Structure 1
Amino acid sequence: MNDIRCFRSTMGEILHTDLDSSASPARLEYTSEKHSRHTLEAINLLRLHRELCDVVLLVGNRKIFAHRIVLSACSPYFHAMFTGELAESRQTEVTIRDIDEHAMELLMDFAYTSHIVVEEGNVQMLLPAACLLQMAKFKMSAVMESEEFLLLPVNQLVDIISSDELNVRSEEQVFSAVMSWVKYNVTERRQNLGQVLQHVRLPLLSPKFLVGTVGSDLLIKSDEVCRDLVDEAKNYLLLPQERPLMQGPRTRPRKPVRRGEVLFAVGGWCSGDAIASVERYDPQANEWRMVAPMSKRRCGVGVAVLNDLLYAVGGHDGQSYLNSIERYDPQTNQWSSDVAPTSSCRTSVGVAVLDGYLYAVGGQDGVSCLNFVERYDPQTNRWAKVAPMSTKRLGVAVAVLGSYLYAMGGSDGTSPLNTDAIYQQQFDLEEERAKAEDKLSECSFAAATERKRAFVVDGANEAARPPDGTTFTILDLERQILIELQIVRDDREFGLVMQSRFVCSTCGKIASLWSSPRVRSD
């Protein structure tokens, strides 16, 4: 029988010992409830004494001494700055722009002490700074509940809610904050509702929230400017094909929201048949969820994102080859089939977006491989053929770098290819060239691009695949240098996409919303 005994240490903590007569030696478990607080206090003392500080922030006329590890732990902004390839990661002094120096000092105190005072006199400068640095504790939902927020004058409220850097999970939070502010003194502020609401990005609301909450609000319904804004948002949601013509400040996602990128795995082959299911992966929540399925089962489908809408091109439904296109709207969780079909049925087609057009490259129609390339214009809902590739390709990896469209590897139907085709839209020219090394010779690819590099994964050539995994190639398209790696072992086709600074690969075909890599250049 166990003998449980408790002792109080000289530090005032509780020590628990589990003395089991059948086990030797006794096991001691110790948890210090004060450890984290004492550690943070000690680190703050190091900062105040300027000891072990490895970075100086230049903000306005002030120098703020700090530790990179603390800043990176508290702020995704600093984490990206100090752990990536930016010049700031190697600098001992870093200039921070667009942030009030007093606000930065308050936020640094918060990072080292977990304490801050938000009041009417500092909220205007503090909130934008916290949003820019993505300080997790400063969310709109917390600020809007404070009386200081409700007491803001209209011009300060507009400055806050019009910021691209506003750190909110969704635009619904912004709308709720605005309405709370108006209703705090509805007699005087009712006249300001239209002025304020135009800075809420209503087109980014969910249809249910827009109709059920916004459209039914009596204050909104009684104001002509507000009604027009609601109608504008409804048109944006109901007419996805018109969205390229409706872009503006109210349709632009805020930067913290845009960083919440997601992946979609579309269709594929499972249990001996094509499937129509679609799954959505949220890297921040680390979870997959099913979304609305396509109307048709599709394997070998090409996918890409154009104007924040996900396109599924062609494929095979298990019985026949397809030329139909489906388009998914993540805001409504619905697929539509009103997109014009391609000129021929095909599967294993490469798809990418260049300069506002959707390109379908190569593939095969069940009779032969294809070399032609088609371009879709979402404004006219029409496909047009452009310069063909000189080589027929199926299972081709397609990626965009700059103003060029790259079609890499694939198969001509009889053997794998080790050439790529380069398309330049400006001159409607297609050029083919051999690789510097014969490493891109598999028959099924996925590719993603970042800066001047393409990341290529093969996923289907059993004869060429090494026994312990799938090949992963980094191709420097500027210098024609290839580096070959080996990654996860898997027997299915791959999709590949850039996710922040990481490369993500999954089975089936995959696309990303709001996933073009963003690199600071200042």
Structure 2
Amino acid sequence: MTESTTTTPNRSLNLKTETPTPETCKSSEHFNIIMNKIHDFFNEKKFCDVTLIAKDNIYQIEAHKMILCASSDVFLGMFGGSMREAAENKGNLDIEGPILELVIKYIYTASIELTADTVEDILRAACLLQLTPLKSLCCDFIVKQLDSSNCLGIALFAEQYNLDDLYKQSETFVCDNFGKLRKDEEFFKLDVYQLSKFLSSSDLRVDSEEDVFRSLMSWIDHDKTNREEFMSKLLHHVRFPLLTPKFIASCIEPSCKSIECERLICKAYKWHLLPEFRLSLYTEKHTQLRNFNGMVMAISGWSANGGALNIGLYYPVLNDWIYKSGIPALTFGREDFGSTSFKGKLIIAGGVLTTTKELTDRVDCLDLKTFKWSSLAPLNTKRKLFGMASLNGCIYAVGGCQGGVNFNTIEKYDPSIKQWKYVAPMNYSSPVLVCVSVTLNKLCVSIKTGQGMSTMYHHNLYDPANDTWTYDWLVTNDNLVGTGTVSVFSNDFFIAVAKNSILRYNYVIKSSEVISLGKTFVKGDCDHCEGFGDRMIAYGNNLFQEYNPFRDEWKTMPKFENTQGKVLLISNQSYNP
């Protein structure tokens, strides 16, 4: 008789057993090994239990039911229920044989080779089989191929198959390149619903609202017999408040024959001629600039002794400031200089050097992406207390003085030749130049003359197209601190005056009115004023305020934190870092 003994596990590794909590361990290789083995079974046609039949009824692929059902709800419904396919273990698919083979191999391997010739058919198959990851791969591939020759077709394809992300990206491309696409053959293939969708978009990037109307007319003229009936429907998407009465009368009115079109034109004229009825005529969307993604740039910390600059960038979309601090000041500190924004750069020109008190002709620019300084060609004339503005890809330096001499000269910087050259001079010269702004594609130069009770402000227009001036199109006697054009009202010019009011001048009816400050306006001295798209931005008493002409009201913008030293306010409608 043998004595029974109790055996214990052989713990030759002598590991500690006191740790009470077990550790869950996972192998990253396990599933890969299994899927590779299943893929081998697929290639060798081992254990296959279903047959997929392609569109031609000839191309057949044997596969594993469990793998297919786990990958696609379409296969799960086909083989996992009471359908005929489940009983017969066969399924017919409306997919071409070679494409079906690529898709099934993707199901087993999670990889697929995409080409420009196959991606569209593979994406259709992925949509049919509800293979979301494969759809994403195809859409990512297509986005990389987006260009002006295919973006409209891709947008329509994405809309047809409910590919939201692909549609948004292709629509964005269409809107960003609309100026080119409206001349492309694909544009003329759009139906009226598709065209309406694009024309109504606020993201459409066009030089002016005139381009929207011209694209509409080119689409109609391409097949006038069948498309002319859609004229009034499409005209509803044109933002008439952004067009001048002259353009409406000369370009739109002759093209309109229906009663509905005439009603739209009459409504547009009423808008321009009777400002008091504007709120009842259009929604705010119809008065907003398209694709306006600009910013307001405020610079503080500027002093005669130099020092670091603090730049705040205000984006209306965010309704907040983004700060860039500690930016090096100019090596040559200066006062009484001119400044403007130009193609993503801050331009500082002329003025008085703080070290020597001498006038300078230096022109420096700060890149708002790299925040590094560089130099441009010097001015032809050393000047101070002058105005600057950018228009049509050039920079203008206007007026100013040197010693006891007041200038009426204008210099234009042309980046294509990297030089300044003189253009037609003004009739006026003044030791105080109030403002240079851009309106109606012209420079508006506001000059102060006289003193005391005889002080007058002369507003003059310079047309760069023919190098000519229009003098005294408006004369005011209020203490002027800034001017600006709010582009949404294409016939209105806005002037900010120091007694906290805004003067609106209408080009068409040639009359002016003082605009109500509104209940939300915070009173205080106004130091700066800038037109900003369809808004006016004013700065004073360390507060930034925004005026909405459509609503005739002010609102206080988020607080600008860096207000030490001199503050420069520059609006920039095109730069988007």
Which interval holds the TM-score relative to the shorter structure?
0.3 to 0.5
Q: Give the TM-score taking structure 1 as reference length.
A: 0.45
Larger radius of gyration: 2
Higher RCO (C-alpha under 8 Å, 6+ residues apart): 2
